[in-house]
Amino acid sequence: MADISPFRLEHAMAEAMKLRAEIGDGDDRLLLDTIEGETDVFSIMDRLSEMAIADKLMAERARERIARLDARADRARATLQRMLEALGISRLERSMATLSVSEGPRAVVIINEAEIPAQWFRHTVDKTSLAKHLKAGNTVPGAELANGTPVLRLHSR
């Protein structure tokens, strides 16, 4: 909240809550018009919405840039490894880095999954199909549907 101080936010919300208490329930249009005319609540909400949308876009672009940089670094590392291997060099000290080619960590290769004992398998609940089953009105011992937590949906125009 770069230009919205906590004090300003709290003050605006206190004013809006007083107006809400005075007007009461029933006339939502009057409440919204009064809050908009007499407080900064909606302008603060507009600014927060703008910031949330801009930050989300910036984060998406940053993730895309990170992916491009990671891919470029991987290509450079693969080229370096191929160069060292072609030259038959396993270790090379240079001013920017020490390069070395060695065996990587041992990896498990599954040859025949049917022969692997059950103790090496993970068993988890398929929550997606379970949710569909429960939403269809069925019951399942040990599971039930719960109300979701409130989520703000913010759509930019």
| Total number of residues shown for the chain | 157
> What pLDDT score was predicted for residue 36?
96
- Rounded to whole angstroms, the Cα distance separating 118 from 126 reads 18
> What pLDDT score was predicted for residue 73?
95
> What pLDDT score was predicted for residue 145?
93
> pLDDT below 50 — which residues of the chain?
none
Per domain, the residue ranges of the chain are: 6-135
> What pLDDT score was predicted for residue 122?
85
**Global pTM value:** 0.64
Is the Cα dihedral 49, 55, 57, 60 positive or negative? negative
- Summarised one tens digit per residue, pLDDT across range 43-66 is 999 999 999 999 999 999 999 999
